[in-house]
Structure 1
Amino acid sequence: MIPYGRQDIQQEDIDAVIKVLKSDLLTQGPAVQNFEQALANYCRVPHAVAVNSATSALHLACLALDLSEGDWLWTSPITFVASANCARYCGAQVDFVDIDPQTGNLCPKALETKLIKAEQEGKLPSIVIPVHLCGQPCDMAAIRALADKFSFRIIEDASHAIGAQYRGEPVGNCRYSDITVFSFHPVKIITTAEGGVATTRNSSLAKHMARLRSHGITRDPDEMTHEPDGAWYYQQIELGFNYRMTDLQAALGLSQLNRLDQYIQRRQQLATRYDQLLTDLPLSRLQQHSDSKSSWHLYVIRLQSDHQMAHREVFEAMRAAGIGVNLHYIPVHTQPYYQEMGFREGDYPAAEAYYREAITLPLHATLTDEDQTRVAETLSGILHP
């Protein structure tokens, strides 16, 4: 089986983890801070807060921006459920904005239309989470302009987009957002096994998220309600969580980060090659904007809806042939949990049309040209028997 994604673990990664294993500190040591600083430098942003998953990072980002009961958070329906669930953890309500069929990303025009209506109804969102699907950045300048007009905060869900660029700057620099979140799950571009990070330009947000990831505890005398009793002293000043990243994970991530640009280059080569190999097939590909540079976490095709073979038939035939295709994603509003809140099929037509046609082909840094050719030839044989 050729997997749609997989990690690339090299000897330097193993050596980095072993070095931590032989050290005195397996967690809450220097490796996490080193990883955070390296990520901040890469993204050209002042602050990076590492946690145990991107889901945790989304949760902390919402809390740091004071999302709470009675508030609304909007996001794309084409994403993993965590992009919406983070609002529910805070007691907030969730709504969705339909996608641009050409890119798969949240559509700024649909967002503006929905905002105008929400303003009339008194239901404007406190936070909007654009999702950089497959690694291609959303139109963040347009979304930022709407945020300035309608007074909402922005969290970029860049779980797919470490190494991507928007208007010549790295995703994660937060020029158009309050906070950006990355994922380091094994199928992502670099991995910490499990892990995530939140970047921000705002020192208060960074300090708040760092405190929340460790039980809401501080050792900073300036944050305490009274003078510390001694060098051992700490105070819990709010309800936090144990969302810390270990030094083992951080050491792996720091080692992987050294190869990030190499990984991005290879993924871009493979994406270009797919474009060439699939030219004559009855399908379309997600459009790439000239003002952005995708990190190519995923390569998604959309089958022509009038093709003689059904979407499910093509998917299952590829799997049966040993090609580990996948589907990113089932629209969140069609999940039973969200349907219980009143969402229904038909609410977001572009997202639902995407779901009926999309298939994710294998794409990762260790995919060989030979295996990629096999993927394309297998797909061609299925679509043109």
Structure 2
Amino acid sequence: MIPYGRQNISQDDINAVIDVLKSDWLTQGPAVPAFENAIAEYCGAHYACAANSATSALHIACLALGVGEGDIVWTSPISFVASSNCALYCGAEVDFVDIELETGNMSVAALQEKLAIAKQNNRLPKAVIPIHLAGQSCDMQIIAKLAKRYNFKVIEDASHAIGAKYKDKPIGSCEYSDITVFSFHPVKIITSAEGGMAVTNSAELDKRMKRLRSHGITNHPEEMTEPSHGPWYYQQLELGFNYRMTDMQAALGLSQLSQLDSFVETRNKIAKTYNSSLVNSNVKHLQQSADSYSSYHLYIIRLEGGLCKKQKEIISSMRYSGIVAHLHYIPIHIQPFYKNLGFKAQDFPNAMAYYESAITLPLHPALTEKEQHYIIDMLTALTLSLKK
């Protein structure tokens, strides 16, 4: 089977993990801060906080920004459920902003309209979490201007987008946000097996997130409520979690980071081949903004016209032929849990139209030309035969 995504592990990656296994540190040793510093430097951010998953990083990002009971957090319905669950973990409410069909990203027009109504109703969000779907940045400059006007915080969910750029700056520079979160799950651009990272330009937010990832504990005397009892002493200042990244994960992530630009370049080359080969087919790919350089975590197409009714048949046929076509994502608001919160499918019509027409094609650095042409030929044949 040709997977839609997969990790690309080199011998250098393996050696990096073995070196940690032979060292004195397996958990919070020197590899974790080294990985954090390298990510911060790559992104042009001041600080980075490693966590055991992007979900954990989103959770502590919300908490660090003061999200809690009585607050509302808005995000996109086209994402994995972690993008909204993180706010619920804090006791806040969640709402969604519909997407642009052309990009799959949060619609800034819909956001502007929703904010104007929310202001009238005194229901403005505490934070907005835009999703950089498939590796392309949302229109963060406009979102940042709206954040300033309506006084909300911004967390970029860049789980798909490490190595991407917006207005010629790396995603993660936090020029237009308070915090940016990356994922290092195996199918993402680089992997640490499991893991995530929250980057920020705020020393205070970084300090709070690093405390929250480790049970709310500090061993820094200047943060304590009374003089230290001795070199063994620590204090729990708040209720935190065990969200720490291990040194083994950090070593793998740090090694992978050295290959990031090459991975992204390869992904863009594969995407370019898809774009040119499918130009005369019955599908269209997600549009790319001139302001953005995508990391192409995913390659997503949308079926047109009557072919939308054949979406399941196309995906099933491709899988039967050895190609793991997939669908990213099921709109969060139609999940049973969120339906029980009162959301209805028709609340976000663009998200539903996207869901009923989208297909994810395989894209990863190890995808061969032969495999890609097989995918293209199979998709083209299917769409032509089903259109008749």
Match runs of 1:124-139 below 5 Å: 124-139=124-139
Cα distance in structure 2, aligned partners of 1:260 and 1:285? 24
Matched, 1:261 2:230: no
Structure 2 residue aligned with 1:206: 206
8 Å contact 2:135–2:162 — kept in the other structure?
yes
Matches within 5 A, 1:192-271: 192-271=192-271
Q: Which residue of 2 aligns with 1:109?
A: 109
2:287 alignment partner AA: Q
Distance in 1 between residues matched to 2:280 and 2:339, nearest whole Å: 39
Pairing 1:186-197 to 2, within 5 Å after superposition: 186-197=186-197
Q: Show CA shifts across 1:11-31 (max 9, x none).
A: 000000000000011011000
SS of the residue 1:301 aligns to: strand
Q: Distance in 2 between matches of 1:348 and 1:9?
A: 39
CA deviation profile, 1:32-86 (whole Å, cap 9, x unmatched): 0100000001001010000000000000000000000110000000000000000
**Aligned equivalents of 1:144, 1:299: Cα separation in 2:** 27
Cα distance, 1:308 vs structure 2: 8.2
* 1:231 alignment partner AA: P
> Which residue in the other structure is 1:169 paired with?
169
Q: Which residue does the alignment assign to 1:355?
A: 355
Q: Distance in 1 between matches of 2:309 and 2:369?
A: 27
Name the counterpart of 1:52: 52
Of 301-310 and 138-147, the range deviating more from structure 2: 301-310
**1:1-385 equivalences in 2 (<5 Å):** 1-307=1-307, 310-385=310-385
| 2:155–2:177 contact (8 Å) kept in structure 1 | yes
Shift of 1:305: 2.9
Q: Is the CA contact 1:134–1:160 (under 8 Å) kept in the aligned structure 2?
A: yes
Q: CA deviation at 1:380?
A: 1.0
> 2: distance between equivalents of 1:307 and 1:210?
49
Report runs of 4+ in structure 1 exceeding 6 Å deviation.
Answer: none
Question: Cα distance, 1:276 vs. partner?
Answer: 1.2
Tell me the TM-score normalized by structure 2.
0.98
Distance in 2, matches of 1:353 and 1:64, equals 35
Query: Scaled by the length of structure 1, what TM-score is found?
Result: 0.99
Q: Determine the C-alpha separation between the residues in 2 that align with 1:305 and 1:335.
A: 26
SS of the equivalent of 2:48 reads: strand
Q: Quick one: which amino acid aligns to residue 216 of structure 1?
A: G
Q: CA deviation at 1:383?
A: 1.2
Matched residue SS, 2:134: helix
> 1:320 Cα deviation (Å)?
0.7
Is the partner of 2:347 in helix, strand or coil?
coil
| Aligned amino acid, residue 195 of structure 1 | G
5+ unaligned residues in a row in structure 2: which ranges? none
Change (3 A) 1:18 1:120: same
Deviations 1:142-172 (A, max 9, x none): 0001001100000000000000000010000
Contact 2:278–2:284 (8 Å) recurs in 1: no
CA RMSD between the two structures: 0.7
Cα distance between partner residues in 1 of 2:305 and 2:249: 43
* 1: CA distance, partners of 2:318 / 2:293: 29
Tell me which amino acid in the other structure corresponds to 1:83: S
Q: Secondary structure at the match of 1:49?
A: strand
Deviation of the 1:306 alpha carbon: 1.7
**Secondary structure of residue in 2 paired with 1:324:** coil
Q: Measure, in 2, the Cα distance between the counterparts of 1:316 and 1:79.
A: 22
What SS does structure 2 have at the residue aligned with 1:365?
A: coil
Equivalent residue of 1:199, what SS?
A: strand
1:280 offset after TM fit, Å? 1.5
Farther off after superposition, 307-316 or 80-89: 307-316
Structure 1 residue 119: Cα displacement? 0.6
| Conserved? CA contact 1:182–1:196, under 8 Å | yes
Q: CA deviation at 1:309?
A: 5.7
CA contact (8 A) 2:311 2:357 kept: yes
Aligned residue type for 1:380? T
- What number of residue pairs does the alignment pair up? 385
Q: Which amino acid aligns with 1:95?
A: D
Q: Provide Cα deviations, 1:109-154, integer angstroms capped at 9, x if missing partner.
A: 1000000001111110000000000000000000001001100000
* Deviation (angstroms), 1:279: 1.5
Give the Cα separation in 2 of the matches to 1:89 and 1:178.
19
Please give the alpha-carbon distance, in whole angstroms, between the structure 1 residues aligned to 2:147 and 2:280: 41
